[in-house]
Structure 1
Amino acid sequence: MLYAQTTPADKRAGFRERLASGELLRFPGAFNPLSARLIERKGFDGVYISGAVLSADLGLPDIGLTTLTEVAGRAKQIARMTELPAIVDADTGFGEPMNVARTVQEMEDAGLAGLHIEDQVNPKRCGHLDGKQVVDEHTALQRIRAAVDARRDPNFLIMARTDIAAVDGLDASIDRAKALVDAGADAIFPEAMRSLEEFAAMRAAVDVPLLANMTEFGKSELFTVQQLADVGMNLVIWPVSLLRLAMGAADRGLDELVDAGALTGLLPQMQHRADLYELIDYEGYNHFDTSIFNFTVAR
């Protein structure tokens, strides 16, 4: 009932232990707190909180318009609804190195298991769009050093995302990844890899966990979990997939209302009321309520 029973510290410790095992962990992207609970129920390993999804939820493009307060607040709402660890997209850290430090502590306080900070310039772009620009290596390393220095829980994961492959190629991405690891990054997110061979090259270059981004309609081919495991990836995210599925269903539902005037024909595609109540533990709330308010009013 209410929120997760596992503490943020325990989620982080468990996440780190599993990450160290070398297995591939699957983190679908949650677009709201309820979808995070569904991800848990389906047996996944963790929850990803996408900056693109949070922007879209506000009706904004993913170009760095959201604030630390907005992202941390929504991330907290999502993370506290599941026993799974949650990692969040912290864009460029929401400012200069001191802002990056504050971002880390805000996300720790919000109950996240980790975050990633990228090396794009501000205003940033979606990682799979053309025309991206990245900061120089000194600035990128400053961000990661600030994040590591600000961390209070050593199990809070500081992941460095690099977008430089789309600008200067794979070799530049490998060099940047090595420098980010030397600066203290616990894991690397090489954005917009185009092939399994590129993922494998990143794997050969660094000895920290690597994340693969399987976003639809982007630069990367949509590889299977097994294909990514075979080249040594440790995390895979589907950041916007559930939002895309949900919005596609909503679009079709509204069309049905326009065309048919009722949604009777789409009932088999809807989540049943009973399934929703089970997911939000309606019975647990009801039991708690009746156990507290178990008196009768004298007449």
Structure 2
Amino acid sequence: MGDLLGGLNRPRARLRELLAVRRPLVAPGAYDALSARLVEQAGFDAVYMTGFGTTASLIGRPDVGLLSSAEMIDNAARIVSAVDVPVIADADTGFGNAINVVRTVRSYEQAGVSAIHLEDQVMPKKCGHMSGKAVISKEEMTGKLRAAVAARHDPDFLIIARTDAAAVHGLDDAIDRARAYADAGADVLFVEAPTSEAGIERVAAELSGVAPLVFNWAEGGRTPPVPAARIAELGFSLVLFPIGTLLAATAGMRALLEVLRIEGTPASALPGLPSFDEFTELVGLGEVRDLERRFS
């Protein structure tokens, strides 16, 4: 866990190791520090900061480019401080042109994130599984990626290039863009929202060996729910499950609130919930008590 007096554990180097030796690395989505702690406590080796979940949790709105870079980076910093495993973060479009990307990369790196993904959508962007997206030119995006690579201080800070072109111009263009993005220096490639298993297989076949590949297992999204064994067989290096934790939390809160509305108290729902003591231990009360004894 991200202890209050914990030391540095080189999560960026660890992420590179995981991508090199484990296929695929599974990174469940987290939208705040608490959900990130739960991901780590469940035994996963990486956390993915979802932009969709960040937007929903911070302002209760859809992922259509409403958050500023400062809001996204602030959330990333809180998530990083809560866990010891590497954090992979959504960085949207880089929040502007190539010069904005320079500042975005520096800020996420200073926040302690291990990797970010930058997408080639027109700003303001939309969730990759929504309709109505538009993309910038391949040439503009390659310039932004070159700027991102030049801006990082730590060579272990990974730049993931995401293309949303499949939904706009088709899979041929998306694959062509991905190759160009690798040539521009991207460490990992992310072709967003292929809509068929044949499309997924083609992405894997044509881009395997170019760079490690991301598979976005977006819960309820446009990409088919491919089994884990098949994802591994195709050679994807990183699998994101971006919003399952958010959907589960939403369902849990709805159920509790319905009991409270109907019965007047939440008493009948409490047996299915963590106890007060269990929850306070989960968020680190034991560590705080140890520090109180140490420094009293």
- TM-score w.r.t. the length of structure 2 is 0.94
State percent identity of aligned pairs: 40
Instruction: Say yes or no: does 1:7 pair with 2:8.
Output: yes
**1:182-217 deviation line (CA, Å, top 9, x unaligned):** 111100111102233322222222221111111122
Deviation at 1:171, TM superposition (A): 1.2
Deviation at 1:22, TM superposition (A): 4.9
Q: Determine the structure 2 residue equivalent to 1:134.
A: 135
Moved more, 196-205 or 257-266: 196-205
Aligned residue runs from structure 1 range 169-208, under 5 A: 169-206=170-207, 207=209, 208=211
Deviation at 1:143, TM superposition (A): 1.3
Classify the secondary structure of the residue corresponding to 1:75: helix
Deviation at 1:54, TM superposition (A): 1.2
Contact 2:3 2:287 survives alignment (8 Å): no
Moved more, 40-49 or 269-278: 269-278
Q: Structure 2 counterpart of 1:78, which letter?
A: I
Q: Determine the structure 1 residue equivalent to 2:102.
A: 101
RMSD: 1.5
Distance in 2 between residues matched to 1:275 and 1:17, nearest whole Å: 34
1:209 corresponds to which of 209, 212, 216: 212
Contact 1:134 1:164 survives alignment (8 Å): yes
Q: Determine the structure 2 residue equivalent to 1:123.
A: 124
Q: Determine the structure 1 residue equivalent to 2:251.
A: 248
Contact 1:225 1:236 survives alignment (8 Å): no
Classify the secondary structure of the residue corresponding to 2:222: coil
Contact 1:116 1:161 survives alignment (8 Å): yes
**1:68-101 deviation line (CA, Å, top 9, x unaligned):** 1111111000012111100110000011101101
Distance in 1 between residues matched to 2:204 and 2:7, nearest whole Å: 32
Cα gap change, 1:217/1:275 in structure 2, threshold over 3 Å: closer, same or farther? Answer: same
Cα gap change, 1:159/1:255 in structure 2, threshold over 3 Å: closer, same or farther? Answer: same
Classify the secondary structure of the residue corresponding to 2:239: strand
Contact 1:104 1:150 survives alignment (8 Å): yes
Contact 1:4 1:81 survives alignment (8 Å): no
Q: Determine the structure 2 residue equivalent to 1:27.
A: 27
Contact 1:200 1:232 survives alignment (8 Å): no
Distance in 2 between residues matched to 1:6 and 1:67, nearest whole Å: 30
Contact 1:47 1:87 survives alignment (8 Å): yes
Structure 2 stretches of 5 or more lacking a match? Answer: none
Aligned residue runs from structure 1 range 1-299, under 5 A: 2-3=3-4, 5=6, 7=8, 10-57=10-57, 58-206=59-207, 207=209, 208-293=211-296
Distance in 1 between residues matched to 2:147 and 2:104, nearest whole Å: 10
Classify the secondary structure of the residue corresponding to 1:60: coil
Distance in 2 between residues matched to 1:145 and 1:269, nearest whole Å: 50
Deviation at 1:6, TM superposition (A): 5.1
Matched residues, number: 292
Distance in 2 between residues matched to 1:269 and 1:223, nearest whole Å: 31
Moved more, 140-149 or 219-228: 219-228
Moved more, 188-197 or 106-115: 188-197
Moved more, 178-187 or 272-281: 272-281
Q: Structure 2 counterpart of 1:223, which letter?
A: V
Classify the secondary structure of the residue corresponding to 1:29: strand
Distance in 1 between residues matched to 2:218 and 2:17, nearest whole Å: 26
Distance in 1 between residues matched to 2:169 and 2:155, nearest whole Å: 33
Q: Structure 1 counterpart of 2:66, which letter?
A: L
Contact 1:215 1:240 survives alignment (8 Å): yes
Moved more, 148-157 or 198-207: 198-207
Contact 1:86 1:114 survives alignment (8 Å): yes
Q: Structure 2 counterpart of 1:56, which letter?
A: A
Classify the secondary structure of the residue corresponding to 2:172: helix
Distance in 1 between residues matched to 2:72 and 2:80, nearest whole Å: 12
Cα gap change, 1:240/1:4 in structure 2, threshold over 3 Å: closer, same or farther? Answer: farther
Q: Which has the larger radius of gyration?
A: 1
Deviation at 1:150, TM superposition (A): 0.4
Contact 1:50 1:239 survives alignment (8 Å): yes
Q: Structure 2 counterpart of 1:249, which letter?
A: G
Structure 1 stretches of 5 or more lacking a match? Answer: 294-299
